[in-house]
Structure 1
Amino acid sequence: MLGKKKPVRSLRATHADPEPMMDINTTPLIDVMLVLLVMLIITIPIQLHAVNLELPVGQPPKSDIKPEKIQIDIDERSTVYWQGLPVTAAELDQKMSELSAQGLQPEIHLRPNKDCQYSVFANVLSTTKRKGLNKVAVIGSEQFVQ
């Protein structure tokens, strides 16, 4: 019996305690994150890619009178032409005042050259707005597309 040793029993083996877990339980964390994600999705407002317009209701009044068409051109040297004749800023302002005094508002066709100064173009547009002329069309805008 001298050569044989008794087996040593550890204290752990005698107690039936389970091993402590060293990993964190991530299941509740994932559940909370999913709940927060669902709440976020529900509370975000829907983005509409639409422009709200207030359109008139009913039939437009029929008119046999066609409005006058005024052609305003701006050339590459930023000279403003009224119906083909060059005008100054003061003359342009006076002519637009006369147009705004008319009962039937004319259509203004504005045709700028792509090489003209933007300030001249913006001045013509602001003059039409200031005088209350609403029927303005920019003609030839396809030349600005690159």
Structure 2
Amino acid sequence: MGMSVGAGGGGRGGRGHRRRGRHHAMISEINVTPMVDVMLVLLIIFMVAAPLLTVGVPIDLPDTQAKAMNVDTQPITVSINSAGQIYLQETEIPVEELVAKLQAISKTGYDERIFIRGDKSTDYGTAMKVMARISAAGYKNIGLVSLQEQDQ
């Protein structure tokens, strides 16, 4: 019961154990797991940040029974808060500069849509003064923004 080492088997010089000369094929697959992880994190960040990108002037809008408008492009927004301060988009401006600033930022000239947002407690005269100035300047598409009335 002796052990013998044959030519075909267990020794170092045999054919079955040639590791130095064997070439392994390169793996050419792209590991997409890190990319998917980054995309999911970005998706979550944008989902959280998107509601914060609305017009930033805090206005308590009145409720109405009007239906929501189907809007394709972003209109110019003029906001009037409860203290009577006037904002063009998110920048406070004096009423005397309103028309000049509107003309500077309107892309389609006098056909530009302009939305007026007024707080519930805004003085009616202030809102009418703003609308009169915009209308007298030649703008045709002026709208008032309100919230839809909730059924209780």
TM-score by length of 2: 0.44
Which one scores higher on RCO, CA 8 angstroms, separation ≥ 6? 2
Instruction: Decide which structure has the larger Cα Rg and report it.
Output: 1
